[in-house]
């Protein structure tokens, strides 16, 4: 008999924690998972899932407009924000139930409450104490809002999914994918929307051609994009509206301010000081490539570590760790190369592998294939919006290093191409692939002449 209550005690039932718990229990380990807020974590409750549902909602206004050219005279009577939020809540509750059943069905002991480490093998949840041979920290991240006067007037992605009313005007502050997605969502739902970012241009780290295309596309949709804009102070006015004072002396009046200025690892009250766990220079839990912290009994995965902050990454890490600990013969390290990801703005962004800038920085000589075109659906719709596609190809090996797209269903299209890149596809393989006609995606296999060569 083990001297411990459990073999593995997981703190946090988010993407990574749930996957690690289920897998480890499936391999025969005695597993407990503690969760203080909601099963499924950020992704299910205040992240990927509700965000995508809102993005669907935001699309309908444009669809109704587009339908006119196809003969449909549709009239939008009204938009009911409360109904959207209620239906979203019902769906999330359903998913929470599925996660509950997945965990209990796998034999995982579910403990509700905030967990705190008492030492490397002991966790307290409320007035209960549990011992475990190993502990896994999968506590995720939390929105970060910088200090400034008027900070108390802003909301974050945690609150945006539960707003009681849709504001008439909205300002989104930030330049990452979450900021861009919410600016798109609010704009699509009919709010007068501004996006303010302190840097030169949003979506840092994405391909430059894609970023430039996105600026034009969003501006054409009526979004007010303000770059090099820093909020110094926010005043709440007598009528309840908010006045943003920018560092350049300008002001912006709005009804809601959403800060999407990054996330920090969730460590508060976790009791790390009672263990040998240390943080890295950025403040994440320091782990090695096997998710081992500096404490031999404690592991960490997902957003609480300095990894790529995406659900599939947390899932893969959870799976890899469970295998390594309890089914080592099946262990495979997570492959972080050629990662595909989407931004669910309108239209979508899909991106895979290296940007042109990254490839050049690594010394590749490149062929760049680029295409901008009006997707067929937009023709009868009388919609001038263009899609953007780009292939980054290594001249020496002919390998496709990066694939980038802005356009409807970009995420769906790029996911398929991710398999090709993982298999090492060259441009010749793309060329030898017959297209599906008529689709937008066929453009990826019909681009023949590089728009630029080194």
Q: Which residues bind ligand FAD (CB under 6 A)?
A: 11-17, 34-38, 41-43, 47-48, 51, 114-115, 138-141, 157, 178, 266, 270, 302-304, 309-312, 314
- In contact, 176 and 199? CB cutoff 8 Å: no
Nearest Cα residue to 172 out of 225, 105, 133: 225
Q: What is the number of alpha carbons within 13 Å of residue 303 lying toward its C-beta?
A: 23
CA torsion sign for 98, 101, 105, 106 is: positive
Residue 349 CA to residue 214 CA, distance in Å, equals 9
CB of 115 to ligand FAD, least distance (A): 4
Question: Which residue has its beta carbon closest to ligand FAD?
Answer: 14
> Rounded distance, CA 151 to CA 235, Å?
9
CB of 112 to ligand FAD, least distance (A): 9
Q: Shortest gap between Cβ of 14 and ligand FAD (angstroms)?
A: 2
Q: How far is the CB of 30 from ligand FAD (least distance, A)?
A: 19
Residue 334 is assigned to a ligand binding site:
no
326 is in an annotated binding site: no
Please say which residue, 178 or 354, places its beta carbon nearer to ligand FAD.
178
Starting at the earlier edge strand, list the strands of the sheet with 242-246.
231-236, 242-246, 251-254
Q: Is 176 annotated as a binding residue?
A: yes
> Between residues 42 and 378, which has the closer beta carbon with respect to ligand FAD?
42
Between 37 and 145, whose beta carbon lies closer to ligand FAD? Answer: 37
Yes or no: say if 143 and 157 are a contact pair by the CB < 8 Å rule: yes
Q: Is 249 annotated as a binding residue?
A: no
Q: Which two tokens stand for residue 87?
A: 């239906």
C-alpha distances out from residue 23 to 5, 292, 301, 429, Å: 19, 18, 14, 37
Task: Give me the least distance between CB of 41 and ligand FAD, in Å please.
Answer: 3
Which of 136, 381 has the CB closer to ligand FAD? Answer: 136
We find the least distance from the C-beta atom of residue 95 to ligand FAD, in angstroms, to be: 13
178 annotated as a binding-site residue: yes
Is 52 labelled a binding residue?
A: yes
Angle (nearest 5°) at CA 13 between 8 and 18: 70
Any binding-site annotation on 221? no
Report residue 438: phi and psi, to 5°: -95, 120
CA angle 181, 339, 310 (to 5 degrees): 50
Residue number with CB closer to ligand FAD (124 or 246): 124
Catalytic annotation, pick one of 59, 100, 404, 437: 437
**Least distance CB 312 / ligand FAD (angstroms):** 6
**Is 150 a known ligand-binding residue?**
no
The DSSP symbol for 241 reads: -
Are the C-beta atoms of 175 and 203 separated by less than 8 Å? Answer: yes
Cβ nearer to ligand FAD, comparing 304 with 393 = 304
Check whether 177 is labelled as a binding-site residue: yes
Show the tokens assigned to 389: 């596609």
Residue 153 annotated in active site: no
What does 80-125 look like in DSSP terms, one character per residue? -HHHHHHHHHHHHHHHHHHHHHHHHHTTPEEEES-EEEEETTEEEE
- Strands 231-236 and 242-246, sheet pairing: antiparallel
**Distance, CA of 48 to CA of 95 (rounded, Å):** 13
CA distance 221 to 242: 24
Distance CA 151, CA 296 (A): 40
Nearer to ligand FAD, 318 or 443 (CB): 318
> Cα 157 from chain centroid?
12
Length of the chain: 454
- Extract the annotated binding site: 52, 174-181, 262, 303
Among all residues, which ones are annotated catalytic? Answer: 437
- Extract the annotated binding site for FAD: 52, 303
- Extract the annotated binding site for NAD(+): 174-181, 262
């Amino acid at each position: 008999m083990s001297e411990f209550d459990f073999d593995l005690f997981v703190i946090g039932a988010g993407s990574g924690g749930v996957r690690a718990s289920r897998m480890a229990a499936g391999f025969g380990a005695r597993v407990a998972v503690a969760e203080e807020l909601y099963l499924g974590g950020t992704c299910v409750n205040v992240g990927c899932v509700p965000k995508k549902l809102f993005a669907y909602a935001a699309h309908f206004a444009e669809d109704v407009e587009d339908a006119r050219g196809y003969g449909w005279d549709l009239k939008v009577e009204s938009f009911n924000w409360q109904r959207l939020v209620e239906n979203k809540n019902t769906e999330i509750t359903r998913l929470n139930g599925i996660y509950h059943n997945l965990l209990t069905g796998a034999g995982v002991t579910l403990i509700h409450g905030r967990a705190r480490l008492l030492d490397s093998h002991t966790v307290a949840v409320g007035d209960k104490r549990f011992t475990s041979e190993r502990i896994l920290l999968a506590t995720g991240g939390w929105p970060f809002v910088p200090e400034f006067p008027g900070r108390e007037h802003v909301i974050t992605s945690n609150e945006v999914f539960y707003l009681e009313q849709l504001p008439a005007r909205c300002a989104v502050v930030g330049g990452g994918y979450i900021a861009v997605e919410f600016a798109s969502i609010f704009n699509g739902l009919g709010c007068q929307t501004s996006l303010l970012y302190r840097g030169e241009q949003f979506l840092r780290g994405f391909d430059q051609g894609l970023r430039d295309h996105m600026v034009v596309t969003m501006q054409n949709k009526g979004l007010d994009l303000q770059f090099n804009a820093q909020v110094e102070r926010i005043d709440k006015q007598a009528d309840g509206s908010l006045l943003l004072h920018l560092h350049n002396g300008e002001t912006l009046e709005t009804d809601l301010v959403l800060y999407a200025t990054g996330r920090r690892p969730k460590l508060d009250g976790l009791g790390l000081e009672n263990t040998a766990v240390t943080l890295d220079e950025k403040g994440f839990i320091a782990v090695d490539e096997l998710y081992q912290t500096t404490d031999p009994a404690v592991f960490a995965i997902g957003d609480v570590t300095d990894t790529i902050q995406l659900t599939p990454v947390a899932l893969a890490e959870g799976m890899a760790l469970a295998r390594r600990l309890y089914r080592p013969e099946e262990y495979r390290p997570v492959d972080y190369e050629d990662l595909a990801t989407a931004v669910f703005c309108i239209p979508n962004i899909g991106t895979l592998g290296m940007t042109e800038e990254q490839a050049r920085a690594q010394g590749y000589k490149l062929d760049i294939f680029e295409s901008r075109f009006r997707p067929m659906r937009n023709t009868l719709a009388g919609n001038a919006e263009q899609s953007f596609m780009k292939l980054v190809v290594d001249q020496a090996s002919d390998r496709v290093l990066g694939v980038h797209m802005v356009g409807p269903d970009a995420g769906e299209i790029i996911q398929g191409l991710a398999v090709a890149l993982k298999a090492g596809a060259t441009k010749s393989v793309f060329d030898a692939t017959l297209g599906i006609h008529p689709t937008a995606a066929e453009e990826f296999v019909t681009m023949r002449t590089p728009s630029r060569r080194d």
